[in-house]
Amino acid sequence: EMRELQYTSAVRNDSVSINQLQEFKTQILVLLENPAEISALVNKLNFAQCTYLLSVYWLETLRVENSTVPSIHPILEYLNDATIQKDKSGMWQCVACVGDRVFTTFLNVMSCKPKDESREKELESHAQFMLINFNHIHKQIRRVADKYLSSLVDRFPHLLWNCRVLWSMLDILQVLSYSLELDPNEETPMLRVPSTPYSIPLMDTLEARESIVNDFAARCLGIVQEAMKWAPQATRSHLQEYLNQIPHSGQWHHSGLALATESILMSKGLNLQSAPLSTSTLEKRPRCVKSDSSRFVSSLSLRSRFSGQVAGMLQTGVPRDKIIEKIIKDVWDACRDESNAQHHSALWRATALLISSEDAPRNLLNVVACSQLELFTERAMITATECWQWLITARPDLELQFLQEMFSAWQSSVDKQLGLFSKEEEEVSPLAAYEGCVLEPLPPFVKPHDIWIQFIVELVETAKYNNQDKVDMLANLLQHSLFMIVGGTEQPRQNRHIAAVGARFRLLLCGLSLLQGDVLSRSLAKNVLRERIYCTCLDYFCGSKLCPSQRGTDLRDDIHVLLKFWQTMHSDKKYLMASVIGDFDVSGSVADQNLTGGDAKSQSGIVSSNDFPRPQTATGWINTVPLSSSTNTLTKRSNRSKRQVNSGDLFVKDYIKKRNLILDLLAVEIEFLLTWHNPTSRPDLNFPGEDTIAAWKSKTVSERTLRDTARLAWDISPVLAVFLPDRLKNAESIVKEVSRLVRLHPTLVCHIPQALKFLVTTDTLLNDAQELVHMLSWARVTPIQALAYFSRQYPPHPISAQYAIRVLMSYPADAVLFYIPQLVQSLRHDTMGYITEFIKYISKKSQVVCHQLIWNMKTNMFIDEEMHQKDATLFDTLEALTKTIIGSLSGPAKQFYEREFEFFSQITNISGEIRPFPKGPERKRACLEALSKIEVQPGCYLPSNPEAMVIDIDYKSGTPMQSAAKAPYLARFRVRHCGINELETIALSISEGTLKLDDSLNSGMGPEMWQAAIFKVGDDVRQDMLALQVIGIFKNVFQQVGLELYLFPYRVVATAPGCGVIECVPDAKSRDQLGRQTDIGMYEYFIKTYGDETTKEFQNARRNFVRSMAAYSVIGFLLQIKDRHNGNIMLDIDGHIIHIDFGFMFESSPGGNLGFEPDIKLTDEMVMVMGGKTEAAPFRWFTELCVQAYLAVRPYQEAIISLVSLMLDTGLPCFRGQTIKLLRARFAPQASEKEAAAYMISVIRNSFLNFRTRTYDMIQYYQNQIPY
């Protein structure tokens, strides 16, 4: 002891010289790393005191370093020594400093120990010891304990959310609160802390006890809140179980319970809906809306409820085996019945029974871990994860067994191809829609897997600090969930749909967190896991970029995950060092062979670049496993180099290149999702880390680097390289390099339609490149892309012609029907007769297509409306082809043709009959009289509506239009929808006499309705047909991506030169008509029709107006549709705005092609309906929809350009030489998504209340009396 030192002769102060004493002091300071706070004190110590300090240092250091159970308890005993505390020379401070060094050694020793249960118990014990001493009667001991506790948690963070530490902490708080009830004037007892070997001595005054309780309660609250940040689910579960185990009584207060409840309620934990929101958004919402406390209370209630239920069942005397059997049956019955509610109750009951069972039956454990597979729903997975949290907390002894079962269930989900591992559904192209096809997003159902992955992520975050067995199990799960094939089509693999992006990258993030640091030991398995993570990440980009089908917080949550993954991948460079990675020259390891299980078969797929001879690496770990073609990146680079380079360095360089490629691709994807989520760059929707992505994307990249990037992508997977140019824009070098590689190895990508553009170019066709022969076996493209090979865009070639015809023949006739105007025009470039033969073929395949072709060919024989000027290129071809097609008709087909054309001829001739009559009542009477003479022919249809059969005529509907010279008129017909194919079948059956019209009407056809149509004579409607084709494609695109925009592509069919049929928009009036009838503005019309702004009707109408306004605004801008006066704009009864009459577009406009009108018609009355100002919520939504619509159609720009290019030779007035160049520029092909969004917003801003809009309306008013 200290007081004996002065009486011990061996350490008398006069037994050493001054120099020797100084050496002792120097040694002490060196060992303690020269702490400034005690340097002066040490220099004043005598020999005995120096000896004592050194003895304590070495004794305790040796004890900590060599003891099987190292302990820090003796240090606190030294500091608690009364003699040391009272020493005037500062010995207490010196011993405390020695204690700090010993404690650091203790931390290092504990860190080196295996992460097993024994180490965990030692750490728990020391944490409990520090919590006890935090409430010591001596203030300086409390400070030391607080400091040591902080250091312990810094080194071993999992102690924050350790179940026993948390419970001990709350027990201590309860003991301390109990001390406040004791009389301080009586003898102060030692209060024992439950479930620990420790007792707490009490202070002898009430004030001191209150102070200690206050300090400890504050510390407890801080610990719980910090634990909630690190492991919210585990911490919440531990606290719930603590509350569940403490006996409840309204007469009895438990401070630990109170603090546990208070800490959860006060925690900043957010519910699932609020977690992804920005800080500024959250600040606007009350705490009750965003807090996750309700989940805590609900789960706690469920635990109590089902624990009670099971306890009651066990007390009934029914054998336990029977109860287990019944509960298991209940769970499987609920799954079979697909009842989420029944499954919820049964699974909670099963978990409660498992927790209460000492022997833990394996069949019950299996049910708890696996039932969610049979009922793969979001609700079932939430129930499962909540039960799992309860089980892990209440029965830690079962955790490893449970994890085995749970991981087995995960593997089953992989094998069954559920959720994240499901196969992508083949979506119908918006450019090849056919009758009955479904145009909508087809996202995989990944939500259950996403919830499961969130549970696994927290499991990883908690396990990597304290349990190596769990870490190894989790690493093994990742090894079997991530696949080393990039761009493959074989299963199993992860779904590439954008709806699965959050789940995929959350799982990858989990893997990276295991790789970065010393969680996994240096081994082949660790290297293989990194390879799997990189491959799975790159595999996501082996497809076309898709617009997100996620909305709101789901999309925001996915962006959060991607940003976090990007940042983690960015930091992976420092972990990609040879010294950190591990060994490379590893011969085949039997232990690691299973790491590649199931991947070897994927190497024989068409996507593998191993089909061609490649040099092999002589040495290296990478040869020990059959990885994907990505491994060849290292192989090529290493053999190209003349100098001998360490294989580890090559590995690192190769992976840094892959990392940079991932960061580039991911940055583009994140920017796209950010732009889609926040088109107008609202600050309240911004994400932390956006600027980092922008900075990375803005870096300058050399041409050589871009070429190397393309080659690297090709080496990893040719599929990845094919889609690289579409993702990394502004990169002509990438396009050239990918084109070169595709021409060298076309068979590797011939299954990808998008790759054809790299093989077939103007140059390869003109030069008759030998690789063109591969085109004949290429995957099919869309009909319009096939037709483009018969246009100005490509020179004629027999191989491209044969391929195009094969593609066109592979589609249903009604898919080709949409492109009849382009099909007829492609005859101009059909130098080898392929299109001629295809038209003959498809005319036999579908009678409706045959009729439409005949009408269109008749229209295009002449270039003027009066049929005086023949089309020099097409006339002879079309005339001969028309005669051939008509001549080939026979039997029912010929009767159908004659009946349809005779009926339609009678309808059309009415215009000629009424033309001599003056406008007004006389022409009206003449029209009605002529219409009354027409009888409905069985099995006929209107050319504009071939999917509906005409069953009657409204003989009172004949209405001549305003034109005096050309006498167009409107008539209504009773039609019945049945579909094009069904109509053909019925019409041919009627011709054969096997079916009567009345029978056909009763054969399950669609609903009857009145269909109005306008029959024009003397007007070329082909320009309207082109505009409406584009509108139709845009409508398909919007449906495909899930954008709720409204377009009405009414049908227009040209039937002869200057003649056509125009489908009328139902239940709609032009703005001009509304103005004449009501003489009020559009906003006032909305108020009058639907009520004030607060009514549901008005809000629905405004919503419809905004959706349609956004869609037509984008189309109006891209096609440069002009002459947008109020006669050409309609409103339907639901509030949709609909544009009609497309006589001026592209390069033509009223007034001598001045282009006077702005890009979008956005008048003050339209703005009033949308809120009255740009900051109004409806107008902001309009802007966002415009941007999203623009982003959605940009990927289809080449198809639109091909569609228009095929019509350039028609001589339509809208084509004036620069059409294609200007159209392509409006799509901003080289702009990123963010730049494109900014461009669209600038178009809206420049059109907003533009004075030219109002001026043009005034001109129309004064010239044509059209109100505005």
Last residue of a domain, one of 699, 718, 734: 699
Contact assessment for residue 1012 and residue 1051, using Cβ atoms and an 8 Å cutoff: no
How many whole angstroms from its chain centre is CA 1120? 33
Looking at the structure, tell me whether residues 1122 and 1246 fall in a common domain: yes
Considering the domain boundaries, does residue 1159 fall inside one? yes
Residue type at 423 in one-letter notation: K
The pLDDT value recorded for residue 580 is: 54
Structure tokens at 88: 């005037």
Q: Which of 112, 132, 152 is the last residue of a domain?
A: 112
Residue 299: pLDDT band (50, 70, 90) is: confident
User: What is the count of structural domains for the chain?
Assistant: 5
E-state strands within 1037-1096: 1052-1056, 1059-1063, 1068-1070
User: Domain for residue 1089, yes or no?
Assistant: yes
123-137, 170-184, 457-471, 603-617: range with lowest mean pLDDT = 603-617
Residue type, 776: L
Highest-scoring range by mean pLDDT, 261-265, 687-691, 697-701, 1042-1046: 1042-1046
Asked whether the predicted pLDDT for residue 1164 surpasses 80, the reply is: yes
Distance of CA 439 to the CA centre of its chain: 19
Do residues 418 and 377 make contact, with C-beta atoms less than 8 angstroms apart? no
Residue 589 belongs to a domain:
no
Phi and psi of 1129, rounded to 5°?
A: -125, 130
| Residue range 562-586: mean pLDDT, rounded | 76
Cβ atoms of 840 and 880 closer than 8 Å: no
Residues 931, 984 within the same domain: yes
Q: Distance (Å, rounded) from C-alpha 235 to C-alpha 160?
A: 9
Dihedral of the CA atoms 374, 380, 382, 386 (nearest 10)?
Answer: -80
- Residue 794 three-state SS: coil
In this structure, are residues 1090 and 1121 in contact, taking their beta carbons and an 8 Å threshold? no
Residue 629 domain-assigned (yes or no): no
In a domain, 709, yes or no: no
d(CA 1191, CA 1228): 10
Clarify whether residues 398 and 520 are in a common domain.
no
Question: Is 1160 in the same domain as 1255?
Answer: yes
Residue 461, token pair as written in the block: 């975050």
Q: Judge whether residue 1262 has pLDDT over 50.
A: yes
- Which of 144, 154, 71 is closest to 106 using CA atoms? 71
- Contact of 170 with 195, CB cutoff 8 Å: no
Q: Are both 101 and 22 inside the same structural domain?
A: yes
Question: Does 988 share its domain with 1101?
Answer: no
Label residue 610 by pLDDT band (50, 70, 90).
very low
Q: How confident is the model at residue 277 (pLDDT cuts 50, 70, 90)?
A: low
How far, rounded to the nearest angstrom, does the alpha carbon of residue 1210 sit from its chain's CA centroid?
Answer: 43
If asked whether residues 955 and 1103 sit together in one domain, one would say no
Contacts of 604 (CB under 8 A, 6+ apart): none
Q: Are residues 667 and 564 in the same domain?
A: yes
Residue of higher predicted confidence among 1146 and 284: 1146
Is 70 exceeded by the pLDDT of residue 94? yes
| Distance of alpha carbon 678 from alpha carbon 590, whole angstroms | 51
Comparing C-alpha atoms, which of 505, 517, 525 is closest to residue 453?
505
What does the mean pLDDT of the chain come to?
A: 86
The pLDDT confidence band at residue 4, using thresholds 50, 70 and 90, is: low
Percent of the chain with pLDDT over 70: 87
Judge if 1093 and 1242 occupy the same domain. Answer: yes
Whether 380 and 494 share a structural domain: no
Buried b (16+ CB within 10 A) or exposed e, 803-837: bbbbbbeebbbbbbbbbbbbbbbbbbbbeeebbee
- pLDDT tens profile 344-397: 999 999 999 999 998 889 999 999 999 999 999 999 999 999 999 999 999 999
On whether the CB atoms of residues 721 and 689 are closer than 8 A, the answer is: no
Tracing tokens 């995929």 back to the chain, one arrives at: 504
Separation between Cα atoms, residue 882 and residue 519, nearest integer Å: 76
- 781 in a domain, yes or no? no
Task: Compute the average pLDDT of residues 417-437.
Answer: 92
Cα distance between residue 1028 and residue 1063, in whole Å: 11
- Are 738 and 708 in contact, with CB atoms under 8 Å apart? no
User: Considering 67, 83, 112, which residue would you say is the last residue of a domain?
Assistant: 112
Give the pLDDT confidence score for residue 444 in this predicted structure. 95
Domain assignment present for 193: no
The string of pLDDT tens digits covering residues 232-275 is 888 888 888 887 777 654 445 677 777 777 766 666 666 666 66
CA-wise closest residue to 1161 among 1217, 1054, 1265, 1082: 1082
- The predicted-structure confidence for 167-182, as pLDDT tens digits, reads as follows 999 889 888 888 888 8
Instruction: Report, as an integer, the average pLDDT of 985-995.
Output: 83
> Is pLDDT of 284 > 50?
yes
The domain containing residue 370 runs over which residues? 292-418
d(CA 465, CA 396): 16
Q: Would residue 1030 count as lying in a domain?
A: no
CA angle 1112, 1162, 1205 (to 5 degrees): 40
- Name the 3-class secondary structure at 852: helix
Radius of gyration of the chain (CA): 40
The burial of 1164, by beta-carbon neighbours within 10 Å (0-12 exposed, 13-18 middle, 19 or more buried), is given as middle
For the cut 60, the answer to whether the pLDDT of residue 604 exceeds it is no
* Predicted confidence (pLDDT) per residue in 634-663, tens digit: 434 434 444 445 566 788 889 999 999 999
- 623's CB contacts (< 8 A; 6+ apart) are 616, 617
Higher pLDDT, 556 or 1260: 556
Residues 566 and 472 in one domain: yes
Report which of 158, 160, 165 is spatially closest to residue 124, judged by C-alpha positions.
165
233-242, 550-559, 741-750: the lowest-pLDDT one: 233-242
Q: What is the phi/psi pair of residue 682, to 5°? A: -70, 130
685 and 555 fall within a common domain? yes
| 90 alpha carbon, distance to own chain's centre | 63
- Give CA–CA dist 794/1056, Å, rounded: 29
Confidence tier at 11 by pLDDT (50, 70, 90): low
User: Per the structure block, which two tokens stand in for 331?
Assistant: 């769970």
1057, 862 Cβ separation under 8 angstroms: yes
